[in-house]
Amino acid sequence: MKYCFFLAFIVFPLTISLVFTQEADIKSNFITIYNDDFAVIRQIRNLEIQKGINQIQITDVAKTIDPTSVHIKFDGKVLEQNYQYDLVSIMKILSKYINKEINLTGKNIITGKLLSSQSDGIVLQNQDGGLTILTDIKDYKINVGSLPEGLITKPTLVWTVDSKKTGKQDIEVSYQARGINWHTEYVAVLNHNDTKIDLNAWVSIDNKSGATYKDATLKLVAGDVQKYQPMEKYYAVQQLKMQETIEDARQFEEKQFFEYYIYELQRLSTISDNETKQISLFEASDISIKKKYLYKSPNYSIYQGLNQDNKISVIIEFDNSKENKLGIPMPKGLVRMNKSDGKSIEFIGEDMIDHTPKNETIKLKVGDAFDVLANEIEKESIKISDNVREVKYQITLKNRKEEDINIEIERFLGWNWTVLSSTYDYIKKDARTILFNVPVRKNSNSILEFKVRYN
């Protein structure tokens, strides 16, 4: 390793110290990735450091680093911290050579003082005072004397520190960086009679931070972490442990952390720049499910007096419990559902789940039923007084399947209502919503009628 020694005047009164500059080697990497497109990187770096004033440089940091989040820990104190990011590019090099001589080599050699450099060409002043204007320089090779001062090839963190001792020591560097994200994808396969599923969970890690984290200890945080965002940026943007059934496939160990969950990979992993890495989170089999038909009344059709057939959703519902072969915190992600047609596995639908703790019910919309429809009309409306109105609704449920089914109906009614009569039992879900569960025999219809008084 090469060391560079030079004398510098320090801002402390009447003190002159030796400044020692070197690059710190990475000893170990730790990376914690959040759902919100950022990560916390912590590195242990080992270097030979002299007692007194030293300068430490780190060049292999993320291009998307938040320099205000940088922290360094070692046996001494930090006097100054700088983040240098004026990176080398053709236009930046040429901008540093304005009013200096450069050479262009192509079909002929052109030499002159650079007066202007733009993406679409350059202007040179010849020795006789004339101008050479090149609107297209792709066929020329540009030669300059040296790399201009102040330009660097990689983003660089630079510390001026005061070390208490001489010798090798570990320093801990941590910072936040954007452009690193993780998300979960689930693959579900239904059995032949739609009573159970097998569920595989995969973690996908996208790294576009501009750095590679070799042999890193990897942690994933599931949950909605508050990140302060200035209002102007906000408006700019707006325009437990696994069960035995999944133990063999487990690569991540889950634990609660504050109000979130952390999944820690039980081995080291390299997270390369511009890479999407997929790692198995868990596998679970024979999860009991309920298949439901759900009709949510489209209120607009009632108020506009329309009379039309409406679609009915197919819902898969299951408990995230230990008794149901799960009972684990499930991160937010896309669930792709498949089923075998007897010859191959075919895709049948997909839906998103939010972060779901254990012992909660998960509901997934597969799609809309082909053979089941609902027709809803406002059959009668009577004004009792200025403040009271009575309305009779009729919902005709059509089952064209070769099996009996039950259809759950969720109807929004608004405020201050009372059901006067109904052909089927109901549940008041909340102050504005009513629920019905209506059986419909195969190849037949069922008619739900209910009368509501609005105050």
73: its two tokens: 């820990």
Q: pLDDT class for 107, splitting at 50, 70, 90?
A: confident
pLDDT of residue 230: 53
Contacts of 389 (CB under 8 A, 6+ apart): 381, 382, 383, 453, 454
In degrees and rounded to multiples of 5, residue 153 shows phi and psi of: -90, -20
CA 195 to chain centre: 32
- Rounded Cα distance, 201 and 219, in Å: 16
Kindly report, residue by residue over 141-191, the tens digit of the pLDDT: 888 878 777 676 777 888 898 999 988 889 899 999 999 999 999 999 999
The pLDDT, as a whole number, for residue 338 is 96
CATH topology of domain 90-143: SH3 type barrels. (2.30.30)
CATH fold group of domain 290-334+360-454: Chondroitinase Ac; Chain A, domain 3 (2.60.220)
Cα–Cα distance measured from residue 420 to residue 436, given in angstroms and rounded to the nearest whole number: 15
User: What is the pTM for the complete model shown?
Assistant: 0.70
318 pLDDT band, cuts 50/70/90, is very high
407, 295 contact by CB (below 8 A): yes
The string of pLDDT tens digits covering residues 251-305 is 666 665 555 678 888 889 999 999 999 998 889 999 999 999 999 986 644 444 4
Residues 354, 320 contacting (CB under 8 angstroms): no
Tokens standing for residue 130: 């004339």
Question: What residue segments make up the domains of the chain, in order of their start?
Answer: 4-86+153-176, 90-143, 290-334+360-454
Task: Please give the mean pLDDT across all residues of the chain.
Answer: 83
The answer to whether 69 touches 175, Cβ cutoff 8 Å, is: yes
Ramachandran class of 210: left when φ > 0, alpha when ψ lies in -120 to 50, beta otherwise: left
Measured CA to CA, the distance from residue 124 to residue 135 in angstroms comes to: 11
Asked, colleague to colleague, whether 90-143 and 290-334+360-454 share their fold, the answer is: no
Supply 449's token pair: 């009628």
CA 198 to mean position of chain CA atoms? 25
Distance in angstroms (rounded) separating the CA atoms of residues 415 and 64: 50
Write the pLDDT tens digit of every residue in 134-153: 888 778 888 887 877 767 67
